[in-house]
A and B are shown apart, each in its own frame.
Chain A
Amino acid sequence: MHYSEKDLLKMYKQMYEIRQCDERLAKLKLKDLVMNGFHPYVGEEAVAVGACYALLKDDYMVSTHRPQGHAIAKGASVRSILCEMLGRMGGPSNGLGGPMQWVDAENRFFCGSIVGSGICLANGFGLSVMQAGKKNVCVCIFGDGASNTGSFHEGMNLASIWKLPVVFICENNQYGEAMPVREFVSVDRISKRAASYGYAGLTVDGMDVKAVAEVTKSAIERARNGEGPGFIEAVTYRYKGHYMGDPDNYRTREEIAEWRKKDPIDRCRKELIEEAGMIESEIKSIEEQIIKKSDEDQTWALEQPKPSLEYAVSNVLIPLAGRYA
C-alpha cells in the first residue's frame, strides 16, 4: 500500500509524541508522581498508531492496562493522558482511574486493568453499532497474555458467530509480565488461534507502522462492510519492564538490544527520508516542536489540581428520583 508523505509523517509524529509522553512518564514515575500502575509502552508505538490509521473519531476502541499509546493514537491529547497518569483533574477520568483504567467518553476509548476482559467488552460496542445500522467498528487491542484467558475464547467465538464489526489486535510484545510467549503460549504464532473461531488470522511485523496500518485498514474495512470480525497479531517488543523497575530477570540484554535495532520510530524516520524525500532538518524541526509541546503539556498537567474527595466519590450511581440511600 502506498502512503502519502502526509500520511507517513502523521504516523511518525504520533509515534514520536507517544514516545515523548512515555519518557516523561518514566521520569515522573522516578519522582513518585506516577505510580507502578504505569506500564511503559516504548518500543510498541507502531501498533497503536498503525491500528488507529483507519479508525474514525466515532469508532470505538477497547484497550489494556498499557493504554497510553493507544489512547493518544485514538485521539486523546497528551496533556489529558499525563493528567490521568498523575491522578489529576483534566484526565479522561479526571485522575480517578490512573495509569491502567479510564473511560474517555468523547474519544469512545475504554481501557482496564483486568487482562482479557476487553475482548468480551468489544463485542458489545460492535453489537450496538450493528443494531443501530451504523458503519462504525470497534478495535480491541490486548496482549499476548490475554490470549490465554477464558475471555479470549468466549469473546472471539461470540464475535464470529454474530459477525460483529470488531477488529481484534493481539499486541504480542513477547512477555505476559515476566512469562515469555515461547513458554506460556501453546502456539508459535498467536494468529493460529484465530482459525479455531473461523477467522483468517494474520501476523504482522509490529515494528513496521505501515504494515500494521495496512492490515488493520483492510480488516476495518471488511468489518465496516458487514463481513465480520478480524484478527491480527502484531509482533512487537517492549523495551522496558512490564512495569518500571520490574526485576527484568527474564530476558537478556542482548535480546533487548536486538529488538532496539528494529525500532519503529527510527524505521519510519528512515522511510520519510528515503521514500518520502524529506530532509533531515525538516524532521528535526518537527521533533523539536513535539518536544516543546510535550514539555508544555507536562508543565500544564503538573499544575492541575487533584480531584477532591467529594468528587472522587460522586457518580457512583445515578440517584433514584426523590430519595436515595
Chain B
Amino acid sequence: MSERIITYVEAIREALDQELQRDQTVYLIGEDIGTWGNLYGCSKGLLEKYGKDRVKDAPISEAAIAGCAVASAASGLRPVLEIMYIDFISIAMDQIVNHGARWHQLSNGKINVPMVVRTQGGVGLRNSSQHSQSLENWFVNVAGLMVVMPSTPYDAKGLLKSAIRNDNPVIFIEHKALYKQKGAVPVDDYIIPLGQADIKRKGKDLTIVANSWMVTHALAAAEELNKEGISCEVVDPRTLYPLDEDRICDSVKKTGLCLVVNEAPAAGGWSGEASSVITENCFSDLKKPVKRITGMRTGVPYDKDLERQVVPGVKEVVSGARELLK
C-alpha cells in the first residue's frame, strides 16, 4: 500500500472524502464545513465534490445541528457532525447525551444511532478559555458513547473511518496543536479498530500512558530519557472508552512503573480512571503508585507562554518519569 507524508488535517480530510465516496448515507453537517471547508481545512473541497446534500453548512445552532444529526442517524443516515471547538459542545450536550446516547437502549436495541461528533480541543493556538478546553472527560462518563482521540495522522485517518462505520454514537476529538503534524499515511482505505491501544514506543523501565497531543510530549520525553539510558514505553489508548485495559496493563506489568499524562484537569477525569484500572489490575507488579501529570484546574490563559504552562509539556513528563525512577 503506497504511503506518503501528509498532515493530520489532510488525513482527516482524506478519511471524510473516502467515506463520503464509499457510503451514500454518510453526510457532513456543521458550521463552515462547506464553503470554508472547516477552519483548518479538514473538509476543504468536499462541498464542491459531493454537493450541498452531502456537505451541509449549518447555521450557528449547535443544538439544531446535533438534534438533526441524532435523529437522522436513527432513521437511515450516517452523519458526521462537526462542532467547531469542543467548548461549543455545551450547547449540543442535551441532544447528544439525553437522546443520541439513549435511543439504542430505549428502543430495545432496534434503533442504532451511527453518528460521529467530530470536534477539536486543547491549547496551542492562543484561543483562550472558551476555545481551548480539554472536555473529553465529560463524554467518557456517559453510558452509550464511545470516545476517540487520535494522536497521529495515521491514527486520525484509520480511526475516523472506523468511527464512521461504527453503529454507535462516537465522540471523535482532534487536537488543534496536532493539525499541522505530519506523518506517513497510506493512500488507500484502511481502518484502525476502536478500543485498541497502540504502543507508540517500546521500552522496559517505565510505561507512559498518554493520549492526543500528550503522546507527542511523551515521545519527546522518552527520547530525552533514552539519552540517559532510561527506556520508556509509550502507550496511546487512542480510544478513551472503551479502554484497552489489556494492552495498557500488559505494559505496566512488564515495567512496574506508570505515568499517566492527560491535558485535562485531574479531578473527576479519565487520567484517574486509567490510574485506577492500572492499580486494580497491576497492584502486585507496581513498584510505586501510578503517577499522574495533568493540566491545571484553571481556565486556559491567553498568553502564548502561559497557555502552555497550564498543561503538561515535555519538561513535566520528564520530571514525572524521573521521580518515579528515583
A residues bordering B, Cβ < 8 Å? 60, 62, 93-94, 96-97, 101-105, 110, 112, 114, 117, 119-125, 127-129, 131-132, 150-151, 153-155, 157-158, 161, 314-318, 320-325
> What residues of chain A lie closer than 8 Å to B94, measured between beta carbons?
114, 117, 151
Question: Can you report 7 residue pairs joining A to B where beta carbons are below 8 Å apart?
Answer: A103-B103, A105-B111, A120-B63, A125-B71, A128-B71, A154-B63, A157-B64
A contact patch SS: mixed
> What residues of chain B lie closer than 8 Å to A316, measured between beta carbons?
104-105, 143-144
Contact, CB under 8 Å: B68 / A123 = yes
Contact, CB under 8 Å: A124 / B111 = no
Contact, CB under 8 Å: B75 / A121 = no
The count of chain B contact residues (Cβ–Cβ below 8 Å) is 53
- Given contacts A117-B94, A151-B67, A317-B146, is CB(A128)–CB(B241) below 8 Å? no
- Given contacts A112-B99, A124-B74, A317-B146, is CB(A158)–CB(B108) below 8 Å? no
Q: Who on chain B is nearest to A307 by CB?
A: B108
How far apart sit A175 and B112, CA to CA, in the bound complex (Å)? 35
How far apart sit A318 and B245, CA to CA, in the bound complex (Å)? 19
- Given contacts A96-B106, A131-B53, A320-B194, is CB(A158)–CB(B168) below 8 Å? no
> What residues of chain B lie closer than 8 Å to A131, measured between beta carbons?
27, 53, 72, 77
Contact, CB under 8 Å: A318 / B63 = no
> What residues of chain A lie closer than 8 Å to B71, measured between beta carbons?
62, 110, 121-125, 127-128
Q: Who on chain A is nearest to B169 by CB?
A: A317
Contact, CB under 8 Å: A128 / B77 = yes
Contact, CB under 8 Å: A105 / B193 = no
Interface status of B9 (Cβ within 8 A of chain A): no
Contacting residue for A110 out of B76, B77, B103, CB 8 A: B103
- Given contacts A102-B106, A128-B76, A158-B64, is CB(A112)–CB(B112) below 8 Å? no
Interface status of B135 (Cβ within 8 A of chain A): no
Closest 7 CB pairs of A and B: A120-B67, A124-B71, A325-B242, A154-B64, A154-B61, A124-B72, A128-B75
Q: Who on chain A is nearest to B79 by CB?
A: A124
- Given contacts A316-B143, A318-B167, A320-B195, is CB(A127)–CB(B107) below 8 Å? no
Contacting residue for A117 out of B95, B193, B246, CB 8 A: B95
